[in-house]
Amino acid sequence: MKKIFLILFVFLSAFSLFAQKLEAEDGDAYSAKTASSISGFSGKGYVDFLPGGSSFVKITFKTKKSSNYAFKLTYSADSEKPSAVKVEIDDKYLVTQKLQASDSFTNNFLLNTALLEKGQHTVKVTGYRGKWSFDSIEVIEADDKLISQIKNKRLVNPNAIPEAQKLFEYLCQMQGKGILSGQQIYGQNTQEIKTLLAATGKNPAVLGIDLIDFSPSRVEHGASGGRLTSVAKKYWDEGGIITCAWHWNAPSGLIDKDMPEMHWYDGFRTKATTFDFSKGIKDHESEEYKLMIRDIDAIAKQLKILAKNNIPVLWRPIHEASGKWFWWGAKGPENYIELYKLMYDRLVNYHGLNNLIWVWNAQDPDWYPGDEYVDVLSYDYYPMKYKHGTADEYLAKIQAATDKAKLYAISENGALPNVVKLEEEKSLWSWWCTWNGDFTVAADGKSYSESNTSLDSLKLYYNNPYTITRDELPSFKVSQ
């Protein structure tokens, strides 16, 4: 009987998941102090983090075997200002995420796991923003069930079309396994795509389009978006993915002076219009509100063409708001958030556009409209010429907006991100999308421009196995 129990014990031990709790006060702290006034802590106390992102604790631990590991953080966070934590494992970025306000100690899983070899490791816990207290962090061997629980993501629109669901599921599956290449075009001109194909032998997985010339105030001046949706449909039919922005020319109040960035066609810029959208946000009987609805409806008409063809769209409206150089960011985060919600409600609930995957791009956590309105958090990344980084600092910035599992994208870029390093870090970025014009096409209008990324680097990154190009995508078509 003893022998049977011994065999059973060994068998169960072999299949049990490794877990250990690391106490914050046992680590090496910098610009942080041990405390014990909040009840409910484990161990001998906890560590108070100073606001401002300068405090951190490093803790060394050992794993008994090579495996995937999850991390559960126990903390208490101030309710007055948003708090967030940044975590690195062995000096490699893991995740940044928002902490829920709590007067007592609570815990949450971090929204990323790490593949660790057997042996010694170091976890670095940094107070990214806000004031909070760190009690402990558990290191837990993660099986598929736990990983699925931690990284569970759903589209915010429960009525999304099957093609949107299928695309979103694919992006979720590929997170940390590869990054989709992308290229923005202007209007119906696809020269950037032709140039990339000639230079690399590859088509980008993602085609970026802009509905700018469908803005009514541009149409009034003779602009035309033409058959841009036909270009998008063709790319989709050829196996690509569509992402769509809208440089929204202000509905009225165009200054239209013969001065830099103040012409009628610069009407998306703050300094090129007197339009005050905050009046429309506050008063739905106002002329400003009626004009905004008119414009959103004009764009809905174009998006419906794609919806009719069952084409999902990575939809990135009113972008770069926190920079305030566009009019939709000029009145602060509260008004921007209400405008974002208005657009969501009008497009989804009024127009029934269920082909949209919502990509938030205000780029600052204080401008986040809420988890129920966002599928993807994105950042527009323009490093110095020929500087190819991983954009970890910008990933951290947008991740700090939420404690829910989301996707992340480099929605615009100049120089390409460093795909080699992205692969090493198992980066969470889902796609990049190089901006149009001389970022890709030279002055002759045909050959590749090396203005930000050299030809050698372009070929290196486009042909890296971690980069996903159009020919490597599965089909997302469901409805016939």
Give the pLDDT confidence of 27-72 residue by residue, as tens digits: 999 999 999 999 999 999 999 998 877 899 999 999 999 999 999 9
Residue 463 has which token pair? 């042909």
- Split at pLDDT 50, 70, 90, the class of 2 is very low
Annotated catalytic, 334? Answer: no
pLDDT for residue 480: 56
pLDDT digits (tens, 9 = 90+) for 366-377: 999 999 999 999
Name the residue among 365, 426, 363 with its Cα closest to residue 390: 426
Per-residue pLDDT at 479: 64
In the residue annotation, 320 being an active-site residue is answered as yes
- Structure confidence by residue, pLDDT tens digits, 91-100: 999 999 999 9
Distance between CA 142 and CA 69 in Å, rounded? 5
What pLDDT, on a 0 to 100 scale, did the predictor assign at position 15?
A: 43
Listing from the earlier edge strand, what are the strands of the sheet with 28-30?
28-30, 56-63, 119-129, 83-89, 92-99
The pLDDT value recorded for residue 54 is 82
pLDDT > 90? residue 160: yes
Whether 260 shows a pLDDT value over 70: the answer reads yes
Catalytic residue among 238, 320, 450, 472: 320
Q: What angle do CA 225, 210, 471 make, to 5 degrees?
A: 110
Q: What local confidence, expressed as pLDDT, does residue 51 receive?
A: 83
Structure tokens given for 188: 């119906």
Q: Measure the CA–CA gap between 340 and 363, rounded to whole angstroms.
A: 14
261, 412, 425, 450: which is the annotated catalytic residue? 412
Q: Residue 410: pLDDT above 50?
A: yes
pLDDT tens per residue across span 191-235: 999 999 999 999 999 999 999 999 999 999 999 999 999 999 999
Q: What is the mean pLDDT of the chain?
A: 95
Predicted TM-score of the model (pTM): 0.94
Question: Is the backbone of residue 416 left (phi > 0), alpha (psi -120 to 50) or beta?
Answer: beta
Residue 269's identity, in one-letter code, is: R
Which residues, other chains included, contact 107 with Cβ-Cβ below 8 Å and sequence gap of 6+? Answer: 72, 73, 74, 75, 138
Q: Does pLDDT of 397 surpass 60?
A: yes
Spatial CA neighbour of 439 closest among 426, 452, 429, 428: 452
